[in-house]
Amino acid sequence: MAKAFPVTHQRGFGTVAITTFIFLYAPLAVALVFAFNAGTSPAKWGGFSLRWFQSAANNQQVISASILSLKLAAISATLSTTLATLAALAMSRTPRFRGWTLAYSAISFPLMVPEIVTAVALLVVTATFRGWTGYSGLGYLVLAHTAFCVPFAYLPIRARLQTMDISLERAAGDLYASPWNAFRFVTMPLLFPGILAGFILAFVTSLDDVVITEFVKTAGQDTLPTYMLGQVRRTITPEVNAIAAVFLLISVALVMCIYVVNQRTKIN
């Protein structure tokens, strides 16, 4: 029997790992530090200050864009996670059917298509419906983000389903539980960490999307990423760093939430 050889014993492993972490997190660290810059340059240190956080908090455009971004992300993540859960259950808890591979490919396909292609396709669809109905509200952005986020929510949910012990669900059926009660009291509690992970992944994906939003939105529908893009095109101030720092902290909090839920699930 071959002896296991830990990859961490490979020569240069530590150097590669450290270099990778530097490339991943150094830009985030720089942006976070310069969010507290007292000067007006986003890349030249002028002393410690909270002025740009105060500026962003008093900027009505930032507040409106942030509220719209959070509302859009929450609605889109809820819808996409619901659809992804149903799709994952259908693909994991039913016998393989003709066209199963095609269905799986269709769900995962948006992950492999360049986002600009998806954005153009959604622009054509939404423009057509605007012409037919005359409606130009937030619904188009919700539908576009939902369609784009479904595959991101689907992956962790299906991964969770594949690692769950199906014998527990069968045992519930043997004890005369109805399919709904078996799902409610057995499948759902075990699946919840995967659903939460899918929701948060979809939420963050929707929250920071620029390309699809730029193509689908109409006047007055600036989300925070599109607002920041507009600011960068005109003039860059550390206010952009301050906004990015706040959303970075939100992302970290969401990741910690997933970690805590997974740890509690393992303990239970």
Residues near 232 by beta carbon (within 8 Å), at least 6 away in sequence: 240
The CATH superfamily holding the domain 60-267 is MetI-like (1.10.3720.10)
Q: Tell me the pLDDT of the chain averaged across its residues.
A: 83
**Segment 100-111 mean pLDDT:** 78
Confidence of residue 1 (pLDDT cuts 50, 70, 90): very low
Q: Where do the domains of the chain lie?
A: 60-267
pLDDT 10s digits, 197-239: 899 889 988 988 889 998 998 878 888 888 888 877 777 777 8
Q: Answer for the pair 34, 42: CB distance below 8 angstroms, yes or no.
A: yes
What is d(CA 120, CA 110) in angstroms, rounded to the nearest whole number? Answer: 13
pLDDT 10s digits, 6-20: 666 677 777 888 898
172-181 b/e (C-beta count within 10 Å ≥ 16 → b): beeeebeeee
**Both tokens of residue 218?**
């109409």
